[in-house]
Amino acid sequence: MSQSELMFDNTTMTATSAPAAGALPEKRTVLHSWCVQTQWDAPTITGGAGARLFTADGRSILDMSSLAECSNLGHQHPRVVEAIRTQARKLCFVTNAWGAEPRAQLAALLLEKSGFTDGRVFFTLGGTDANEHAVKFARQAAHQPRGWVITRDRSYHGASYAAMALSGDARTAAQADPGAFRVLHVPPPYGYRCPFGTGSDAACGEAAAAHVAALIAERGAGEVAAVMMEPNAGTNGIVAPDSFWPALRAATRAAGVYLIADEVMSAFGRCGEWFAWQRYGEEARPDLMTLAKGLTGAHLPLGAVVLSTTLARALEPQMLFTGLTYCGHPLSCAAGVAAIESYRDEALIERSRRLGAQMLGQLKRMQARHAIIGDVRGGHGFFAVIELVRDRTSREPLAPWPQLHPALKALLDKAMTEGTSFAARGNLLLLAPPLVIAEQELADALALLDRLIGELAVTCGGTHA
């Protein structure tokens, strides 16, 4: 199974437009991520508006995944675009050895929205380096430069060597040795296929948290610097039961181990809150959280680590041996300020919660019609997962994880020909539309998906439920 078949990214669509005169086509000059280079043949996008992308050959495509679950504000959000333009006229760049107004403003907004009063923010270029720096800060604050970090299987924290070690990702497992990076992986809180053999989602979440607590006790709290987990959404398709995060927070607090929330995908309304952990209340607050993607609505690259008061005070008198040339880039920070103001002023967090619940309800009704849908989960905001199975009773998957079944790939291709882009990974359909999607666009996309899943069930020998 090739890498390009492991995660669909619309590269099967052929671009019919010609490159600029004298220019070589992109497929011959660019090394593209997460695909076999000879198989890349995607359309060229020339613009966008709302939840739609516009191609060079004149098509309009409805984006039902916010590209890489990052374009939470849709495409070319006017307020963000204007903020970038305004900042570019004043100051494009200065290193963070110097102050920059948008950097200070964005840090203050993040501390306000997260409630990390008197904390601090470290800006990065994206999610991967945010996660690496969160681990670095936790180890430094704990005075454990080689302290163990506990993460989970079926997780994704980035694709650098350290982030691959942190991730429990089958695609990159052979490229990085977790032990060499002092990383321990634990089973995930996967309620539908619980690795602990429990009988309910709640029990699975509790068992997963208890396993982390037991591992900390086994290694010794003085040897474990941090636990890093995704509170909710991730491209792994596992949505932890509500019992998991509060129990995990209680376990790490009791052991005196820092808890890092990887909110790269789940923040900024994706899961119905500013930050997904907030759904569980103040007691569930992590010690650090990492951000990217929706931080600027993907208009410009930017990541961040938000640190609690305790971490901030621990690090302030110490030398920080780290840095990035473009750390806290003024243009990106200006985009981040405008993005947060847009989420707030357009009530998009609340909209995601309301429409996400409606979307989940429609997907549950779909599940009742199609036996090929084994599970539907998520729906706290504009993120939901459909897990497809050969047999609902045995829960046999369509294909071994993380392979993409040819019939599911055909579904994605059919949807694209009808002007809608869905995302899939393995046996999962991942729905994460922009928070600004029109309600009629959402209804049309779900109706199309309903029809195509019905056709998929026939192709795979399934029946209606």
| pLDDT, tens digit (0-9, with 9 covering 90-100), for 160-200 | 999 999 999 999 999 999 999 999 999 999 999 999 999 99
The two three-digit tokens of residue 60, written as one number: 């309009």
What would the mean pLDDT of 8-22 be, rounded to a whole number? 47
**CA pair distance 398, 26, nearest whole angstrom:** 34
Residues 246 and 129 in one domain: yes
| pLDDT, tens digit (0-9, with 9 covering 90-100), for 91-115 | 999 999 999 999 999 999 999 999 9
Residues 131 and 46 in one domain: no
Task: Establish if 432 belongs to a structural domain.
Answer: yes
Residue 3 has pLDDT above 60, yes or no: no
Predicted TM-score (pTM) of the model is: 0.94
Best CA proximity match to 69, nearest among 267, 336, 265: 265
- Is the CB of residue 387 less than 8 Å from the CB of residue 427? yes
Residues 250 and 383 in one domain: no
Task: Establish if 171 belongs to a structural domain.
Answer: yes
Centre a 10 Å sphere on the Cβ of residue 182 and count the other Cβ atoms it contains: 18
| pLDDT, tens digit (0-9, with 9 covering 90-100), for 26-55 | 999 999 999 999 999 899 999 999 999 999
Query: What CATH number is associated with residue 310?
Result: 3.40.640.10
Task: Write down which residue in 293, 318, 345 finishes a domain.
Answer: 345
Best CA proximity match to 103, nearest among 370, 348, 333: 333
Q: Tell me, what's the pLDDT at 20?
A: 62
**CA pair distance 371, 391, nearest whole angstrom:** 8
What would the mean pLDDT of 202-221 be, rounded to a whole number? 97
Residues 13 and 94 in one domain: no
**CA pair distance 27, 328, nearest whole angstrom:** 32
Residues 69 and 138 in one domain: no
What one-letter code names the amino acid at 73? L
Residues 175 and 270 in one domain: yes
Query: What CATH number is associated with residue 35?
Result: 3.90.1150.10
Task: Write down which residue in 290, 319, 345 finishes a domain.
Answer: 345
Task: Establish if 289 belongs to a structural domain.
Answer: yes
Residues 83 and 137 in one domain: yes
The two three-digit tokens of residue 304, written as one number: 């961040």
Residues 96 and 145 in one domain: yes
Q: Tell me, what's the pLDDT at 19?
A: 57
* 30: containing domain: 3-76+350-459
Task: Establish if 391 belongs to a structural domain.
Answer: yes
Task: Establish if 446 belongs to a structural domain.
Answer: yes
Residues 257 and 341 in one domain: yes
Q: What is the mean pLDDT of the chain?
A: 94
Residues 302 and 397 in one domain: no
In which element (H, E) is residue 391 found? strand 384-391
**CA pair distance 189, 374, nearest whole angstrom:** 17
Residues 309 and 449 in one domain: no
Residues 66 and 101 in one domain: no
| pLDDT, tens digit (0-9, with 9 covering 90-100), for 283-329 | 999 999 999 999 999 999 999 999 999 999 999 999 999 999 999 99
Q: Tell me, what's the pLDDT at 21?
A: 62
Number of structural domains found in the chain? 2
Task: Write down which residue in 345, 365, 400 finishes a domain.
Answer: 345
